[in-house]
Chains A and B, each alone.
Chain A
Amino acid sequence: MTPAAPRAVLAAIAVLAALGFVLPGYAVTLLTEAIILALFALSLDLLVGHARLVSFGHAGPWGFGAYVAAGLLLVLQLPLPVAALGAALATALVAVPVGWLCVRTTGVAFAMLSLAFAQLGYAVVFKWSAVTGGSDGLPGVPRGGGPLGLDWLATREGFHVLAALALAGAYLIARGFTVSPLGRVAAAVRENEARAQALGYDPRRTRLAVFVLSYGLAGLAGGLYAGFARYVSPELFFWTVSGHVLVMVILGGAGTLVGPMIGAMALFFLEHQLSGLTESWGLALGIVFILVVIFAPRGLMGWIEDALRRGRRASRADP
């Protein structure tokens, strides 16, 4: 796997941010949502791609971050960026004990444990109506402005730029982690746990580091989503959300960081365009997903990389 050049990725995100000033209002809103989903998929890729821990519970940190941010915005009236960062930190903090329990396992048991924790969050939010609003959720989440011109962030364009900044920051953190010494150890644990352990590394602690980082970034995505939708509900925690973001990661290409971001945005826009045109869109997506898992496990990114390599080879042979 050749990771795409970070500078190209940042340039692409800058273009996305700039589009917020060019496109008509409705398109900007769609693009903002796509960016938040890209951030969500990026966070899951750390677990699924980099640590090969297939989580079926990523709705957990997403929903948790959204509720924390909603609380900070509603009750404490904090500015939007502060609430989103608070959501990320709170989610990472909760991820320490949850992850400590989850990373004792791998494979199917890990998938089931992460799923159970997310469903537990769903049950708590659903039943604890006094605090969470129960099945009605919490409507009317304000996009808090604040001093120092932060009021601008509550506008459509401002929120769009904030989401793009968060995605760029999260990408730099995720990418920095994967190339850091700890990230390399995590890759070693993924490839051969016994050998990594024999070399003196602690597989559980390494997995825990990936888990906490992944959950923190998912909490950031969830926190931004609360400000975006101005509404949180228990559905954010439901397991189908976990499944949906997993589809984005796999279709985009797990383990590449860039692939899942592309996968999330592509899937979001395809869904938006095609679901209006044809009713069989969901069926087609399911079938394509099955075919990708069987025949193209590297996803869209694998296909792009192969095409680039072929192109390079051809241009080398040409002159």
Chain B
Amino acid sequence: MDPVALFTLQLLNALSLSALLFFIALGLTLIFGIMRVINFAHGAIYMLGAYVGVTTQTLTGSFALSLVLAPLAAALLGLAFERSALTRLYAREHSAFLLVTFGLALALTEAIRLAWGPDPRQAELPAALAGIVFVLDEPFPVYRLVLIGAGAAAALALWLLLHRTRLGLLMRAASQNAAMTAALGNDVAAVRAAVFALACGLAALGGALAAPLFTAYIGLGTSVIIDAFVIVMIGGMGSFVGTAVGSLLVGFAQTFGNFYFPELALGATYALMIAVLLLRPGGLFGREE
């Protein structure tokens, strides 16, 4: 294969992987921005999105509907968990939060195993998305291009939400100074609940989008959560731009690393995470606290 074409295809592969990672990392960073905590259950929520997506598709035959129902289900679960469990912990230290979300990850993974069984579930792509296009005379799956578009659309939508709506304004205010935001008469508890639900919905949307590519299996969440942590730590916890850049970095490092330096790629991402945490504890685009 022509090296330029090969490189271009790898580039597109990297972009589509980055787009999927962006959905899950974005939710993590939104939650961190406003609550100063890491949601360990985010990988399990992503996995839930994949399973709900597959089942919606099996029952209704509609891929589009799965992209609506999966985020909706996850957002409702997130809302219920935030209202019932997390609200009790905001006054406590952050480690309690890590532990309780880890508990949710355990419980959710087992609940999924009970509901769907141990066998992987494959989602089918609708005919319109299942084809291939020719990029520099080489075949490339259409769906991966769709993912790149979806990632870009999500980034734009979230940016508009954060910077052009009242909810976005409140989210940014609460992430800078929650006490002051509350003192000005705003309902910070409601903002927190909305952010948690939104973040869970985003992760599940990523899961539903990933299902046709990776299949839904038990363990999907445990592997992806570490990638998301790496992204959020590198980009800067709570930073929107940092998350986008971090997703691209990790997506490219994994795609090109696995292709050109398969021995070193896996370790290099963790080494990068360690270096950033030590040298710039706030991340590349975050602010140090």
Q: A286-B108, A286-B110, A289-B103 are in contact. Are A112 and B233 (CB under 8 A)?
A: yes
Instruction: Return B218 CB to nearest CB of chain A, in Å.
Output: 11
Report the bound CA distance from A293 to B110 in whole Å: 19
The stretch from B66-74, B91-99, B123-131 touching chain A is: B91-99
The stretch from A115-123, A146-154, A210-218 touching chain B is: A115-123
When the two chains form their complex, are residues B95 and A116 in contact, meaning their CB atoms are under 8 A apart?
A: no
B226 within 8 A of A: yes
B185 within 8 A of A: no
A109: chain B residues at CB < 8 Å are: 277, 281
**Beta-carbon contacts of A224-248 to B below 8 Å, as 1s and 0s?**
0000000000000001100100110
Report the bound CA distance from A239 to B229 in whole Å: 12
The stretch from B140-148, B150-158, B264-272 touching chain A is: B264-272
B274: chain A residues at CB < 8 Å are: 101, 113, 116-117, 120
B173 within 8 A of A: no
Q: A120-B270, A126-B266, A285-B106 are in contact. Are A293 and B99 (CB under 8 A)?
A: yes
**Beta-carbon contacts of B252-269 to A below 8 Å, as 1s and 0s?**
000000000001101100
When the two chains form their complex, are residues B270 and A108 in contact, meaning their CB atoms are under 8 A apart?
A: no
When the two chains form their complex, are residues B37 and A108 in contact, meaning their CB atoms are under 8 A apart?
A: yes
**Of the candidates A101, A107, A127, A246, which one forms a contact with B266 in the assembled complex, judged by CB atoms under 8 Å apart?**
A127
Instruction: Return A12 CB to nearest CB of chain B, in Å.
Output: 27
A67 within 8 A of B: no
A173 within 8 A of B: no
Give the contact-size bracket for chain A. Answer: 35 or more
**Of the candidates A107, A243, A279, which one forms a contact with B114 in the assembled complex, judged by CB atoms under 8 Å apart?**
A279
- Considering residues B95, B105, B108, B110, which has the most beta carbons from chain A within 10 angstroms of its beta carbon? B95
B residues neighboring A (CB under 8 Å): 36-38, 85, 88-89, 92-96, 98-100, 102-111, 113-114, 222, 226, 229-230, 233, 237, 263-264, 266-267, 270-271, 273-274, 277-278, 281
Report the bound CA distance from A119 to B274 in whole Å: 11
Report the bound CA distance from A243 to B99 in whole Å: 9
What 9 pairs between A and B have smallest CB-CB spacing? A286-B107, A282-B110, A286-B106, A123-B267, A290-B103, A283-B110, A123-B266, A289-B103, A54-B95
User: Can you list 12 pairs linking A and B with CB atoms under 8 Å apart?
Assistant: A108-B237, A109-B281, A115-B226, A279-B113, A283-B114, A285-B107, A286-B103, A286-B106, A287-B103, A293-B99, A293-B100, A297-B96
A280: chain B residues at CB < 8 Å are: 110, 114
Instruction: Return B10 CB to nearest CB of chain A, in Å.
Output: 20
When the two chains form their complex, are residues B38 and A127 in contact, meaning their CB atoms are under 8 A apart?
A: no
The residue in chain B whose Cβ has the minimal distance to the Cβ of A98 is: B274
A residues neighboring B (CB under 8 Å): 52, 54, 56, 101, 104-105, 107-109, 111-113, 115-117, 119-120, 123-124, 126-127, 239-240, 243, 246-247, 250, 279-283, 285-287, 289-290, 293-294, 297
When the two chains form their complex, are residues A116 and B99 in contact, meaning their CB atoms are under 8 A apart?
A: no
When the two chains form their complex, are residues A116 and B267 in contact, meaning their CB atoms are under 8 A apart?
A: no
Report the bound CA distance from A277 to B92 in whole Å: 37
Instruction: Return A251 CB to nearest CB of chain B, in Å.
Output: 10
B94: chain A residues at CB < 8 Å are: 107-108
Report the bound CA distance from A66 to B86 in whole Å: 37
**Of the candidates B114, B233, B263, B267, which one forms a contact with A120 in the assembled complex, judged by CB atoms under 8 Å apart?**
B267
Report the bound CA distance from A116 to B266 in whole Å: 12
A283: chain B residues at CB < 8 Å are: 107, 110-111, 114
Q: A108-B98, A111-B38 are in contact. Are A282 and B106 (CB under 8 A)?
A: yes
When the two chains form their complex, are residues B271 and A120 in contact, meaning their CB atoms are under 8 A apart?
A: yes
When the two chains form their complex, are residues A115 and B267 in contact, meaning their CB atoms are under 8 A apart?
A: no
When the two chains form their complex, are residues B106 and A54 in contact, meaning their CB atoms are under 8 A apart?
A: no
When the two chains form their complex, are residues B102 and A243 in contact, meaning their CB atoms are under 8 A apart?
A: yes
B36: chain A residues at CB < 8 Å are: 108
- Considering residues A101, A116, A124, A297, which has the most beta carbons from chain B within 10 angstroms of its beta carbon? A116
When the two chains form their complex, are residues B103 and A116 in contact, meaning their CB atoms are under 8 A apart?
A: no
The residue in chain A whose Cβ has the minimal distance to the Cβ of B89 is: A294
Report the bound CA distance from A243 to B98 in whole Å: 11
B222: chain A residues at CB < 8 Å are: 239-240
When the two chains form their complex, are residues B100 and A294 in contact, meaning their CB atoms are under 8 A apart?
A: yes
**Of the candidates B89, B99, B104, which one forms a contact with A250 in the assembled complex, judged by CB atoms under 8 Å apart?**
B99
**Of the candidates B85, B99, B114, B226, which one forms a contact with A246 in the assembled complex, judged by CB atoms under 8 Å apart?**
B99
The residue in chain A whose Cβ has the minimal distance to the Cβ of B276 is: A116
B263: chain A residues at CB < 8 Å are: 127
Beyond the given A113-B277, A282-B110, could you list 20 further A-B residue pairs with CB under 8 A, ordered by the A residue number? A101-B274, A101-B278, A105-B281, A107-B94, A108-B38, A112-B233, A116-B273, A117-B274, A119-B226, A120-B271, A127-B267, A243-B106, A279-B114, A281-B110, A283-B107, A283-B114, A290-B85, A293-B100, A293-B103, A294-B89
A287: chain B residues at CB < 8 Å are: 103, 107
The residue in chain B whose Cβ has the minimal distance to the Cβ of A244 is: B106
Instruction: Return A96 CB to nearest CB of chain B, in Å.
Output: 16
Report the bound CA distance from A123 to B268 in whole Å: 9
Report the bound CA distance from A119 to B270 in whole Å: 7
A107: chain B residues at CB < 8 Å are: 93-95
When the two chains form their complex, are residues A54 and B98 in contact, meaning their CB atoms are under 8 A apart?
A: yes
A104: chain B residues at CB < 8 Å are: 278
